[in-house]
Amino acid sequence: MSVFSGMRISASGLSAERMRMDVISSNVANMKTTRTDEGGAYRRKIAVFSQNYDEKLGMLGVKTASIEEDESPLRRIYDPEHPDADKQGYVEYPNVDVLVEMSDLISASRAYESNVDTLNAQKSMVSKALEIGR
């Protein structure tokens, strides 16, 4: 295991959590979008992580494997005046719940902060190790 493998793992965690926060931001921004280019209401997106492993280098941390759509049902609200209302007067709204998104955002933010703290601790250890030779 190299001196910098811990930093590489922390950096991959930072990148993955940043992507997760971007996906959450997109969900919140589109929580009222009833019409998309694909047709229908916006569907909540979820960042899926996977282990990033290399045979030569070993563990490289995590990576964003994919961005998937949440298949939970859309919210149906009665609003016959809405331009996207169906024949019964219901409009399909995204399956985005602001409380869920905010709790996910807090979780991602804390994970990001933990990776920053770990990276700083590793940087400090390498710096102290280099001072030994002086």
Q: How confident is the model at residue 6 (pLDDT cuts 50, 70, 90)?
A: confident
> CA-to-CA distance for 9 and 59, rounded, in angstroms?
8
Task: Look up the pTM and report it.
Answer: 0.85
Residue 114 CA, chain-centre distance (Å), reads 15
Condensed to tens digits (0 to 9), the pLDDT of residues 93-128 reads 999 999 999 999 999 999 999 999 999 999 998 888
Q: What confidence score (pLDDT) does residue 4 get?
A: 76
Q: Where are the domains of the chain?
A: 5-132
> CA-to-CA distance for 46 and 37, rounded, in angstroms?
19
Tell me if 20 sits within 8 A of 32, measured CB to CB.
no
> CA-to-CA distance for 53 and 99, rounded, in angstroms?
34
- Sequence-distant (≥ 6) Cβ neighbours of residue 49 within 8 angstroms: 16, 20, 62, 63, 64, 65
Tell me if 67 sits within 8 A of 46, measured CB to CB.
yes
Q: Is 61 left (phi over 0), alpha (psi -120 to 50) or beta?
A: left
Q: How far is CA 63 from CA 12, 16, 17, 129, in A?
A: 7, 6, 9, 30
